[in-house]
Amino acid sequence: MKLSTGARIALRTVALAYLIALVAIPIATILYRTFEPGFGAFWAAIPPRQPSRH
Amino acid sequence: MVPLNVVFGVVTALALVRGRFRGRRLLSGIVDLPFAVSPIVVGVSLIMLWGVHGWFGGLADLGIQVIFGLPGMVLATIFVTLPFVVREVEPVLHEIGIEQEQAAATLGASGWQTFSRITVPAIRWGLTYGIVLTVARALGEFGAVIMVSSGFPGVSQTLTLLVHSRYIDDHNVHGAYAAATLLMFLALVTLLLMSLVDRRGPAEPVAASVQETPVRSAA
């Protein structure tokens, strides 16, 4: 199947946009939120604390 | 759990591809069931089966606690990860056919030799991928495990359940993010390790030497 250059680029754009919107952005967001307060805060937040009594 | 799935997966895949027996279709359908059934259904049915009032509930009297303990979580995880190895190995077995194995058999290889020298190296890629999927799913399984786990941190809580409980119960949002990132990181490490192991393995030389031996002895 031979595609014109325009169609090929359009298809690639659609595929990339789809992947970015549905896969890359959610992962990037959670990574950003995790490391937003710095790596130290991330490291400190990993071990389970004693369950707090509400 | 993973070794168990690997053994069962390879045997079942061999049976499904090479075997011609009654009920092959049925077996194939049963293997696909965990894909079709929602994991939470598995959790409920496990509680029904293994819970104190279930069919096998007598085990609790013997001091073996299945539900709300590690055995229940293992059972649930095995159920949901069962099809991966089978479904990844099956197409590879179809692809390679049986010529090499027949050749090995005519050269005097025993059944086990044929399997370990010819079949296993040939299906390694499918096997690796199946293992990666199994591990990833086992790490990430939520629905089935949350039903049968008591969720004590450090005792019977998976990392996935920890993310959930931090977010929902503790309102510890950053803790949940941190645990989620750790979970992602672990899955990634598994993937990298598996591909490393696969690249270093001796598949090619072994297969080549087995194939070359008769040529040399004939010459």
SS3 track for chain B: CHHHHHHHHHHHHHHHHHCCCCCHHHHHHHHHHHHHCCHHHHHHHHHHHHCCCCCCCHHHHCCCCCCCCHHHHHHHHHHHHHHHHHHHHHHHHHHHCCHHHHHHHHCCCCHHHHHHHHHHHHCHHHHHHHHHHHHHHHHHCCHHHHHHCCCCCCCCCCHHHHHHHHHHCCCCHHHHHHHHHHHHHHHHHHHHHHHHHHHHCCHHHHHHHHHHHHHHHHC
Chain A residues with beta carbon closer than 8 angstroms to that of B182: 46
Q: Nearest Cβ partner of A52 from B157, B170, B181?
A: B170
Q: Is residue B8 part of a domain?
A: yes
Q: Which residues of B touch A32 (CB under 8 A)?
A: none
Contact at CB, A34 and B181, closer than 8 angstroms: yes
pLDDT of residue B76 exceeding 50: yes
pLDDT at residue B172 greater than cutoff 60: yes
pLDDT at B24 over 90: no
Look at A21-35, B79-93, B201-215 and tell me which has the smallest mean pLDDT: B201-215
Give the contacts of B180 (CB within 8 A, at least 6 positions apart).
A30, A34, B163
Query: A49: which chain B residues are within 8 Å (Cβ-Cβ)?
Result: 172, 175
Is B113 within the bounds of a domain?
Answer: yes
**Ranked by mean pLDDT, which of B5-19, B45-59, B175-189 comes out on top?**
B175-189
**Nearest to residue B141, comparing CAs of B52, B197, B72, B189?**
B72
Residue B218 lies in a domain: no
Cα B156 to Cα B143: distance, rounded to the nearest angstrom: 15
**With bands split at pLDDT 50, 70 and 90, how would you rate the model's confidence at B206?**
very low
pTM, two decimal places: 0.74
Q: Answer yes or no: is pLDDT of B207 > 50.
A: no
Contact by Cβ (8 Å): B198, B113: no
The complex's ipTM works out to 0.72
Contact B80, B147 (CB under 8 A): no
pLDDT of residue B119: 84
What is the CATH number for B186? 1.10.3720.10
CA atoms within 13 A on the CB side of B13: 26
What pLDDT score does A25 carry? 93
Amino acid at B131: I
**C-beta atoms of A34 and B170 within 8 A:** no
Residue B87 is assigned to a structural domain of this protein: yes
For residue B117, tell me if it sits in a domain. yes
Which of these, B93, B83, B95, lies nearest to B39 by C-alpha position? B83
Give B205's pLDDT tier (boundaries 50, 70, 90): very low
Rounded Cα gap, residues A6 and B143, in angstroms? 45
Whether residue B219 lies inside any domain: the answer is no
pLDDT of B93 above 60: yes
Task: Count structural domains, chain B.
Answer: 1
d(CA A12, CA B20): 45
pLDDT averaged over chain B? 80
* pLDDT recorded at residue A49: 61
Instruction: In whole angstroms, give the CA distance from residue A25 to residue A45.
Output: 23
Residue B9 has pLDDT above 50, yes or no: yes
- Give a yes or no: residue B20 inside a domain: yes
* Residues spanned by the domain of B167: 2-213
**pLDDT for position A22:** 94
